[in-house]
Structure 1
């Protein structure tokens, strides 16, 4: 594991999994749409595609995609979150690993995924200074032509933080350095066009030589 402490660990504390799961269960009971991320991913690739849910948390996105016929693997640094995911879907593969640690991520097959999805502010909640390395590690997991789909906040109103930690210019530069080209940018997981607001969903494709 990386010695750098992630921003997620700083804000979540210990045993976040049960609290996080309870929060989303309450949202689901209220009638909130819980599957926007999975729905967008399913629009980008057909069932049967292999998907890595990076920073999967309690597995909400991976589990829904698996229900839709995708071959899913989840990876997260927080074992309390993975415990919830394993109980909910023991048939899926859940891996404890640090996205920013190349050695740690080595347990996730290189070049074996059609898509990597990083929902839930995964990129801004990485340890400071590890973001470029994490993006590079995710790019390596993709097959040529595979997609990296990431959504995150760009201001405090869309983050569980006092201020933004990542700009789109930063993120695009890390992607470009990792052999990924921007294909589309959206304002929401529902597919609304990006208008410069405080949240963005970015779809990058691994180039043939990337």
Structure 2
């Protein structure tokens, strides 16, 4: 059996956590906050009308934007509360409840591969540590031979950037570009955030 994700452990400890998370982003959207920086970068990387997998989609802000931009989007998340919010707030993509450690989209009737796989919102740091390489390998398996994965997360979350890049290599990826922000600032040794654009090795 796959080890439970850190996110779902947090939800078990605080059953209201998912609802709080959904409302937090709805409040920010109503306030006019810019919540689309990640999606703009992914859209810039993707060919037009691309097939995009939003891996760890949460309440759907990234996948919703990309769908409105004309892409064919599938979003997956382990948390059914977040998927329900994505379905309500962002109709268009196909939203699925799925643990990334057990990702098998053909079994769900989803055509693959994907041109781009995006994972924003610190998703990698909410995985059970024992599943990190397996998750990256599953993402790699769903990516087209000429596709790219875009994965971003912050420092100080018990997942060292160097370890992540080693895990990505082990899973069959090679880095194309490393950034420190979603608005294209270069990655440095002291960066507090990593956005890794990866290609199949």
Same fold (TM over 0.5): yes
TM alignment of 1:127-138, pairs within 5 A: 127-138=128-139
Whole-angstrom distance in 1 between the partners of 2:63 and 2:37: 12
The aligned counterpart of 2:193 is 199
CA displacement at 1:103 relative to structure 2: 5.7
Report deviation, 1:46: 2.6
Aligned residue number for residue 78 of structure 2: 77
Determine the C-alpha separation between the residues in 1 that align with 2:58 and 2:114: 19
Q: Verify the 8 A CA contact 1:152 1:199 in the aligned structure 2.
A: yes
Contact conserved, 2:134 with 2:171, CA < 8 A, in 1? no
Q: What is the aligned partner in structure 2 of residue 186 from structure 1?
A: 179
Structure 1 residue 110: Cα displacement: 7.4
Q: From the two aligned structures, give the one with the greater helix fraction.
A: 2
Q: Does the aligned pair in 1 maintain the 2:116–2:143 contact within 8 Å?
A: yes
CA distance in 1, matches of 2:106, 2:58: 16
Partner of 1:7: 6
Q: 1:111 to 1:172 in 2, by over 3 A?
A: farther
Cα distance between partner residues in 2 of 1:151 and 1:173: 15
- Higher deviation after alignment, 39-48 or 58-67: 39-48
Q: Which residue of 1 aligns with 2:168?
A: 175
Contact 2:105-2:111 within 8 A present in 1 as well: no
- Counterpart of 1:33 in 2: which secondary structure? coil
Q: Which runs of 5+ in 1 are unaligned?
A: 156-163
Structure 2 CA distance for partners of 1:45 and 1:28, relative to 1, 3 Å: same
- Measured on the aligned residues, the alpha-carbon RMSD in Å equals 2.0
What does 1:26-175 correspond to in 2, within 5 Å? Answer: 26-102=27-103, 106-107=107-108, 109=110, 111-155=112-156, 164-175=157-168
> How many correspondences in the alignment?
198
d(CA) in 2 for partners of 1:107, 1:15: 29
What SS class does the counterpart of residue 129 from structure 1 fall into?
helix
